[in-house]
Structure 1
Amino acid sequence: MPLLRTRRDAAFASAAADVGAGEGLDPLLGAATFGERLRHLLADMQADPRLSRVNRIAAALYEPATDLVKTFVHASDGPDPVGSLSMRLSAFPGMVEAARTGLPLVVDDLTVGGGGAAVTLGLAQRGYRARCVMPVLNNGTLFGFLFYNSFQAGAFSRAALAALRPHNRVAALMIVHELSLLRTVLAAVRTVRNISVHRDEETGGHLDRMSRYAQIIARRVAPMHGRSDEFVEYLFHYAPLHDVGKVAVPDSILRKPGRLTAEEFAVMQTHVVKGLEIVATIQRDLGFARLPHGDLLRNVVGCHHEARDGSGYPFGLKGDAIPLEGRITTVADVFDALTSTRPYKAAWSNADALAFIKDNAGNRFDPDCVAALVDQFDAVEEVQRRFADGAAAD
């Protein structure tokens, strides 16, 4: 066996040397995040004379339940010209057609008939002139879109599109792989979580709503902390898993219709640590050690009951020692819990729930997260309407 291992390792080293030509492993393959991989891909493209005029790549993800196209990551030669956005796909006929046909959508000059969309205006104001939009499709399923931009009008000629095709395939495969891995992990955790949902008072509607409240809050506060749309997207997907540890709480406590005793509440509190153990087991035993933004998932599960003044559990963290994703999830979770009917209480009105949240801003809740919820309450009410308990997403 040692001899076989030696031969195998020698063969691997030889192959790596051939691929890397003495320069080490490909940085695109070694990058830790999707955003880093996209930056390496842009650099590779710009090294090709036919694509040297490509100055920006951006990826946006599609959410079928809401028909939203959401900014995800970008790589460019300058600052982000678009910012954090989500838009109805149906509002952009050209992109709808690209998704239907699989063909690129090219705009040679954004200053000529480009329309007044926020994205177009943002690009033009930053000096971008040409745009190419490529749908990301896998087995007929729309995952999102890739956007290529140039400071020069007419940059996406037929020759440039031909040169772009293999790079676009790499970028598209990166997105499909990233999201497929994420969905596999979520399915594994969701299987465990669903057992808890069937035993718990929390509904699927609660999980849909609170994850979207978290997304609404995160889009406002993430830039304040130097976080990208990649952070926002993963928080959106991981937030519903915050209470996965409740599967380990006895029915007599989890489903008790009245107020818990001190001893029972102490048992209920163990769901946080149990949740962390479940996530660790899934990462270890199912081969997801390199789960994208795994630290974010652990912080959502482990910190959604921490309080800014240190009165929370299980770690008693204070202030900014609580990870941002934990602070966001707390506000989203508490707001929806207050406005939902439970066996032991009636649903609060939005006004009463907001009053409670605002009264506790600065001690229990992060003030910026509270302000983000309050200031975007139209979006919150839209989520309530669309994902009401017992209602299918329309």
Structure 2
Amino acid sequence: MSVTLNERLELIHRQIQQSCESLGRVAVALYDEKTDLLHTFLYSSCNNPLKNYQIALSNVPSLQTLALSGEQRVIRDLPETLAGSTSHHSQQILQEGYRSSLTIPLKLQDKLLGFLFYDSYEPDIFGDTLLSTLTLYAQLISETISHDLASIKTLRGAVVTAREFSRLRDEETAAHLSRMAHYARLIAIEVSEVYDLTEEEIEYIHQFAPLHDLGKVAIPDNILLKSGALSVDEKVIMRSHVIRGVEIVDLMIDEFDLGTIRHIDILRNIIAGHHERFDGSGYPAGVHGTTIPVESRIVAVADVLDALTTKRPYKEPWPFVDALKHMRTAEAHLYDPLCLQAIATRLDEMEQISRRFVEDPVEVA
């Protein structure tokens, strides 16, 4: 099993502590340009004061400035500098006892990838020598994350191309894929405590969710786009898209030399299991309950939610409240109840996502 990004960050933290024992935290937050949200991703310490935290970058002017300038920021005395701040993230960092910090913007192909944060329990420790060392580590961290995300982008780009050439024009629009990927992230955050999901795993669920129906590129158009009911034989062919999807992704990983992508098991589980159902009535394996991988259960709920709340040729969009009610009553046996509760908890945010990603054949989020 490959080392996770978080494990690599922990190793880097331990190496730095050999010369700087007071460095208590190394953390990475990723930036989503399409939503303007900055969300926590990796952290090296046992205590994570900002677990599953997100905030609009536009609401943090100091970080906006760093994003534009590309410059580092050293805060030599956090309690003094943040004395008047009422923001949640500032208060949490102070509450943990950190006294100084270094923030470095991370870029990927001249676009903002996110920020790297170094926090120390001692004030004014970021001298020139330590800054040089931490800047080198920042470059290593940035390149490691960038490599993984670029590989996923390559994989997703290849899928978009395949969809175009296969004339795939069912409900799997770019906007649908963007919405359900963001729904999946919110659901994953809500169930993370119970199902022990790390922020790194949550990010990969979000990144991989748009590939759930990859296998549909192998389904003939006369079946995929059929307006009427499918025959028994046609249903068998349609359902084969799950197995074909796993086969295709394995082939693409081999052909594009993408075997180093972390958490590839999450991708395979999403593709293979997003049509499984909690009562065992799904396909292809007919597994049930928590024997279905949690990422599969999350994406299944996100996918159905978007299908119900989106206009289709055969129906008008349902209000989110009605869609959730239907999923918790008539179809309650089909879905993980904790995932359904997550929708209820984050319903307002999901409606905002729906309004942000309207139907438009553009690049997947």
Residues 106 and 132 of structure 1 are in contact (CA less than 8 Å); yes or no, is this contact kept in structure 2? yes
Out of 169, 180, 195, which is 2:139 matched to? 169
| Map of 1:17 onto structure 2 | none
Cα offset, 1:98, TM superposition: 1.2
Residues 105 and 116 of structure 2 are in contact (CA less than 8 Å); yes or no, is this contact kept in structure 1? yes
Task: Extract unaligned runs of 5+ from structure 1.
Answer: 1-29
Cα offset, 1:31, TM superposition: 5.6
- In the aligned structure 2, how far is the partner of 1:144 from the partner of 1:138? 9
Residues 197 and 203 of structure 1 are in contact (CA less than 8 Å); yes or no, is this contact kept in structure 2? no
- Secondary structure of residue in 2 paired with 1:148: strand
Distance 1:196 1:123, change over 3 A: farther
- Identity score, percent: 38
Out of 22, 25, 33, which is 1:53 matched to? 22
Residues 174 and 361 of structure 2 are in contact (CA less than 8 Å); yes or no, is this contact kept in structure 1? no
Residues 75 and 81 of structure 2 are in contact (CA less than 8 Å); yes or no, is this contact kept in structure 1? no
Return the structure number with greater relative CO, CA threshold 8 A, min gap 6: 2
* TM-score, normalised by the number of residues in structure 2: 0.93
Per-residue CA shift, 1:284-337, capped at 9, x if unaligned? 222222321100000111100000110000010111110000000010000111
Residues 197 and 204 of structure 1 are in contact (CA less than 8 Å); yes or no, is this contact kept in structure 2? no
- Let me know the Cα RMSD of the aligned residues: 2.0
Within a 5 Å distance, the mapping from 1:222-371 to structure 2 comes to 222-359=192-329, 363-371=333-341
Per-residue CA shift, 1:347-393, capped at 9, x if unaligned? 32323211111115652000110000111111011001101214989
Residue 42 of structure 2 is aligned to residue 73 of structure 1 = yes
Out of 345, 352, 358, which is 1:375 matched to? 345
- Give the number of aligned pairs: 361
Residue 68 of structure 2 is aligned to residue 100 of structure 1 = yes
Within a 5 Å distance, the mapping from 1:102-181 to structure 2 comes to 102-114=70-82, 115-181=85-151
Residue 184 of structure 2 is aligned to residue 211 of structure 1 = no
Structure 1 stretches (4+) deviating beyond 6 angstroms? none
Distance 1:197 1:351, change over 3 A: farther
- In the aligned structure 2, how far is the partner of 1:163 from the partner of 1:202? 46
- In the aligned structure 1, how far is the partner of 2:122 from the partner of 2:78? 10
Cα offset, 1:244, TM superposition: 0.9
| Map of 2:8 onto structure 1 | 37
Cα offset, 1:139, TM superposition: 4.2
Out of 33, 49, 56, which is 1:88 matched to? 56
Cα offset, 1:157, TM superposition: 3.2
Select the structure of larger CA radius of gyration: 1
Residues 258 and 344 of structure 1 are in contact (CA less than 8 Å); yes or no, is this contact kept in structure 2? no
- In the aligned structure 1, how far is the partner of 2:353 from the partner of 2:21? 43
- Secondary structure of residue in 1 paired with 2:258: coil
Cα offset, 1:232, TM superposition: 1.0
Cα offset, 1:194, TM superposition: 4.1
- Secondary structure of residue in 1 paired with 2:334: coil
- In the aligned structure 2, how far is the partner of 1:360 from the partner of 1:128? 50
- In the aligned structure 1, how far is the partner of 2:156 from the partner of 2:185? 17
Distance 1:266 1:345, change over 3 A: farther
Cα offset, 1:59, TM superposition: 0.8
